Amino acid sequence: MKTILLKLEDDFFWKLKNHKLSKEKDSGKNWKWEEYIKYLFTKVLIE
């Protein structure tokens, strides 16, 4: 379980960085953070 959480954390920060970088580029893909959190928890539950 710990490894999954660590993996998700890395994933999260990577996406966060990417999100900041690509924000100006494509504002059309500006997804809500609550949805991302939900996505993370769903991912944890599935694995």
pTM of the model: 0.31
Q: What is the pLDDT of residue 2?
A: 60
Q: What is the pLDDT of residue 21?
A: 55
Q: Which 3-state string (H, E, C) describes the chain?
A: CHHHHHHHHHHHHHHHHHHHHHCCCCHHHCCCHHHHHHHHHHHHHHC
Q: What is the pLDDT of residue 28?
A: 46
22's CB contacts (< 8 A; 6+ apart) are: 29
Residue pair 9/36 in contact (Cβ under 8 Å)? The answer is no
Whether the pLDDT of residue 10 is over 50: the answer is yes
Residues 13-39: tens digit of each pLDDT: 777 776 655 554 544 455 566 777 777
Q: What is the pLDDT of residue 29?
A: 52
Q: Cα torsion for 45, 42, 1, 16, to the nearest 10°?
A: 180
